[in-house]
Each structure stands twice: as structure tokens, then as C-alpha cells.
């Protein structure tokens, strides 16, 4: 805990740094510490009505997202830490860009082009979110690509051949852009060798603000009438099953906690991939996806207490719905909040988990010389 004198000095130092290095109106660049001899920067993107996103070059990580409620009062709705140190310790990917392949690959291996590749095993025998040192644990380069009307920063990283066991050199970019009170994430990857690619963001949301209790009363609509059941280690079985008549059904607005005790084991809760294929009545936002394909309406989440509503749109075929089952009170984050089970949810837009080992799933293998493109939009309102 800083003393008042230290806090004032820190504020003056950050203000001076911002004044010296602010890239443009609506965008600030602040120091956020260093790791491995590299400085880490924090970019602050400011939108209307107190809508603010903060993104660190370490892990291209969304560290803060301030969203107004129905009274117009902003609050930070994502889990994370006040300083870089929290992200350097053992933590569950708060706000990070994960890859080269997000989610799980069974037994940390796959076969491609007649060759078997063995990956880093960091989730029991399985590979999770890119491995031991995935995209979430490296410092990305960054440059401002937007302006005051649409503040945006592009983060780039070169994932070299053999990193965490993956073949090929991959050039990766993710752009965070504010569009009014929406946060748009654009991903682009190129490679010189055939390789699996499934990059996503791993933010944990609590639309009431994490200091205000669990997300069990949040009302969720998932525009997906099927999901991929899992077996041991949360690895998909390969089946695609309908949600009708099961606790997996969120086709109409339903409290997240309504049937959560009926799902999963050790602990109970949702940690499942849904197949996004059920159209909603809403029209997609008018925006260019840069060749990534059409935007699909993935989900709507509403916090009844403060009225914040988040709509998720994506060009991806699936979404992993996770309810913070493994948050166990051992992590203290921003505002001194202890992060407990069901304290947040994640909606990770993605290809299906372990697709590289399931020929019946949509393929995420990027061919040499090809380009992977993906867009996700988190749009916020209040009512």
C-alpha cells in the first residue's frame, strides 16, 4: 500500500510521463514497469461518457475497462491487477491475448502434414492457451493506429518457429479500437509454415464491478443451440450436442446461476464451447471486418443491479463460456478485491477446443503464406 506522499509522487510521475509521451488525443501512453529487460507500456484509450480501456504491452492485456451504468456512473468491469507484478505471478490469464492456440489441445500434441508435434504441457497432460510461455507472457510491440474519434492501438509479436513446440514463424497482430461505447479487437496472423492458430482474448467480466459480488444473477443469452461436450481434462469428446432441455440452454435470457450446480464437477460450473449458429433479432453493427467474415451475434449479458449490458459479436464459429469456477480466493486484484469462485465470467470467441485433433470440427490450421483474420466486438449499453 502506498503512503499518501508516495501516491502523490507516483501520480506526478505518471502525469509527467503521459504529457511527454501521449501519442494523441484520446490515447495516452504510460509506463507500466519492466520485465526481462524490456519496458512495459500501458495505453489508455478514452471514449465517450467515461468509457475507457487500458491495455498493456505485456501479453497485449486488457487491464481495465470502465463502462457507465444506467445512472451514467462508470466502473471497471474486468478482473486484473493495479500493477505489472500481479500479471507476472501465477494468475489465470486475466485480460490476456492467448495463443498461438487458445483453449486446450489434448495430450499436448497434434499431427500435421504427416509429422507429430509435441507441445508444452501446462494443464496436466494437455496444452492450454499457448503453453508455458504463450502470447500472454511476452512483451509486444505497439503503435497508435487510431485517432481521437476512434482511438486504437495495434500490438504485434513475432512467434518464432518451435516456440512452445509449434511449427513456423508467425507474425501476430491484435488491434484494440474504441468505437463509441464498444471495444473492437482485430486479430491478424501470417505464417511461413502450416500451423494451427486460434488467438483470442481472455478477459474476465463482472458487469456489476468485481467489488459487488458474483455474476450468478447476471442474465445471459447465448445465441447457440449446440455445444461440444467434454470428457476428462475438459477435452471435447468430438460430439456436437443440442442444448435444448439441458442446463446448457441459454437461448433465452437466463440467470447464470440458475442451473450452474447441475454442470461440471470438481468444481461445478460452465467451462464449455458453444457453437455459434443461432441468429438473434439484432442486426450486426455496420463495420468492415477486413475479410474475416460476417459478424455473428454471440451473446448478450445483463447485470440487473446496475443495468450494464454487454453484447458480444464475432467472426468466430465458437465461444468458450467460463464462469470462474477455479477462482478460489487466493488472488487479490484491483481495489483490494479477493477474486472468488463465480466472481466473473469469460466469453472467449474462438474455434472449437482441440480442433486440430478432430477432423469433424472447423479447421484452424493456417496454411503457409495464408492470413488468419478474426474480429470480436464487445458492445456496451445500459438499461
Distance of CA 178 to the CA centre of its chain: 16
Is residue 77 within 8 Å of residue 206, measured between CB atoms?
yes
Please provide the DSSP assignment of 295-345 as one string. Answer: -EEEEEEE-TTT-EEEEEEESSSEEEEE--TT--S-EE-GGG-EE-TTS-B
Grid coordinates representing 31 are 509506463
Let me know if 91 is a catalytic residue: no
Pairing relation of β-strands 96-98 and 254-255?
unpaired
Q: How many CB atoms lie within 10 A of CB 112?
A: 15
Query: Rounded CA gap, 215 and 236, in Å?
Result: 25
> DSSP character for 148?
S
Q: End-to-end distance of the chain based on CA atoms, in angstroms?
A: 36
Under 8 Å CB-to-CB from 225, ≥6 apart: which residues?
Answer: 242, 243, 244, 251, 275, 277, 278
Let me know if 202 is a catalytic residue: yes
In Å, how far are 40, 236, 237, 338 from 267, measured between CA atoms? 35, 18, 20, 18
Is residue 275 within 8 Å of residue 224, measured between CB atoms?
yes
Active site residue: 163, 316, 348, 351, which one?
A: 348
Active site residue: 127, 202, 218, 272, which one?
A: 202
Grid coordinates representing 143 are 503503435
Cite the active site residues: 202, 348
Amino acid at each position: 500500500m502506498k503512503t499518501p506522499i508516495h501516491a502523490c509522487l507516483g501520480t506526478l510521475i505518471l502525469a509527467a510521463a503521459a504529457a511527454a509521451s501521449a501519442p494523441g488525443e484520446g490515447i495516452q501512453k504510460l509506463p507500466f514497469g519492466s520485465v526481462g529487460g524490456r519496458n512495459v507500456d500501458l495505453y489508455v484509450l478514452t471514449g465517450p461518457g467515461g468509457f475507457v480501456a487500458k491495455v498493456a504491452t505485456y501479453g497485449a492485456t486488457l487491464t481495465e475497462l470502465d463502462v457507465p451504468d444506467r445512472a451514467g456512473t462508470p466502473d471497471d468491469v474486468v478482473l486484473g491487477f493495479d500493477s505489472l507484478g500481479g500479471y507476472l505471478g501465477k494468475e489465470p490469464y486475466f485480460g490476456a491475448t492467448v495463443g498461438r492456440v487458445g483453449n486446450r489441445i489434448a495430450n499436448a500434441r497434434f499431427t500435421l502434414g504427416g509429422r507429430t508435434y509435441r507441445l508444452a504441457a501446462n494443464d496436466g497432460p494437455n496444452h492450454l492457451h499457448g503453453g508455458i510461455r504463450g502470447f500472454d507472457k511476452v512483451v509486444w510491440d505497439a503503435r497508435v493506429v487510431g485517432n481521437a474519434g476512434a482511438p486504437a492501438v495495434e500490438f504485434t509479436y513475432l512467434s518464432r518457429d518451435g516456440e512452445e513446440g509449434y511449427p513456423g514463424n508467425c507474425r501476430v497482430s491484435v488491434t484494440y479500437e474504441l468505437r463509441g461505447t464498444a471495444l473492437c479487437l482485430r486479430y491478424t496472423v501470417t505464417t511461413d509454415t502450416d500451423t494451427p492458430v486460434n488467438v483470442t482474448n481472455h478477459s474476465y467480466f463482472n458487469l456489476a464491478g468485481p467489488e459487488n459480488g458474483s455474476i450468478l444473477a447476471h442474465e445471459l443469452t447465448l445465441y447457440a443451440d449446440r455445444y461440444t461436450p467434454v470428457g476428462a481434462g475438459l477435452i471435447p469428446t468430438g460430439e456436437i450436442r443440442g442444448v435444448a432441455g439441458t442446463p446448457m440452454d441459454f437461448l433465452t435470457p437466463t440467470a447464470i446461476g440458475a442451473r450452474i450446480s447441475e454442470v461440471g464437477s470438481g468444481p461445478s460450473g460452465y467451462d464449455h464451447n458453444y457453437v455459434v449458429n443461432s441468429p438473434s433479432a439484432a442486426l450486426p453493427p455496420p463495420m468492415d471486418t477486413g475479410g474475416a467474415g460476417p459478424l455473428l451475434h454471440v451473446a448478450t449479458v445483463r447485470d440487473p443491479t446496475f443495468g450494464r449490458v454487454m453484447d458480444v459479436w464475432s467472426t468466430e464459429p465458437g465461444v468458450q463460456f467460463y464462469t470462474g469456477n477455479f477462482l478460489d480466493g487466493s488472488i487479490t486484484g484491483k481495489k483490494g478485491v479477493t477474486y472468488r469462485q463465480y466472481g466473473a465470467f469469460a466469453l472467449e470467441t474462438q474455434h472449437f477446443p482441440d480442433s486440430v485433433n478432430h477432423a469433424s470440427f472447423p479447421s484452424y490450421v493456417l496454411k503457409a503464406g495464408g492470413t488468419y483474420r478474426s474480429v470480436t466486438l464487445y458492445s456496451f449499453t445500459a438499461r
